Amino acid sequence: MRNAGLPVEVMIEYLRLYQEGDETIPARLQLLANQREALIKQRKQIDETLERLEYKIGRYEVAVKTGKLTGEEE
Q: Give residue 43's domain range.
A: 2-66
CATH number at residue 15: 1.10.1660.10
- From CA 36, how far away is CA 53, in angstroms rounded? 25
Q: Determine the pLDDT at residue 11.
A: 92
Split at pLDDT 50, 70, 90, the class of 73 is low
pLDDT, greater one: 38 or 1: 38
**Range scoring the smallest mean pLDDT among 23-27, 45-49, 62-66, 70-74:** 70-74
Side-chain-side CA neighbours of residue 63 (13 Å): 12
In a domain, 74, yes or no: no
- From CA 74, how far away is CA 56, in angstroms rounded? 9
Burial label for 59, CB within 10 Å (0-12, 13-18, 19+), is middle
pLDDT digits (tens, 9 = 90+) for 22-53: 999 999 999 999 999 999 999 999 999 999 99
In a domain, 71, yes or no: no
